[in-house]
Amino acid sequence: MLETGSQAPEFTLENENSEATSLRDLLSDRPLILYFYPADFTPGCTREACDIRDLHGQIQAVGLRVAGVSPQDAASHAQFRDKYELPFTLLCDPDKTVIRQYDVDGPFGVGVRRVTYLIDQDGRVADAVQADLRIGKHRAFIDRAIAMRDSA
């Protein structure tokens, strides 16, 4: 997992609409909640995505943006996004290049660690949480990010 205060690695990945999306694009006008998840349509990942969906209005209201990253392709992400009405970007990393850059590759290169980063507009990691099976910790992390931005 990247250290708080470190520079988040720049990347360009395809989104659910097969459009190139870079970290720079995502940070163009606001800080970013960047979350990594193992796979579309799995019970845990669906719960996490729906939690973020349910918080999305509050996330936007305090000036944050959200993007999720997993190894699936654009077609899978588009179906996942449509089925669960996800209002945020999903990024495709089938080769796990960015997953490795962000140090969230699973043990022995299998799977993806469930990690959420808060990245400031200058591209620095402001905070992070890793909780592979404790999905509620990610929602609590986002709740704290909203509260911090709301009180600022």
As annotated, the active-site residues are 45
Kindly calculate the radius of gyration of the chain based on its CA atoms and give it in whole angstroms: 14
> Are 55 and 48 a contacting pair, CB within 8 Å?
no
- The answer to whether the Cα torsion of 62, 64, 65, 71 is positive or negative is negative
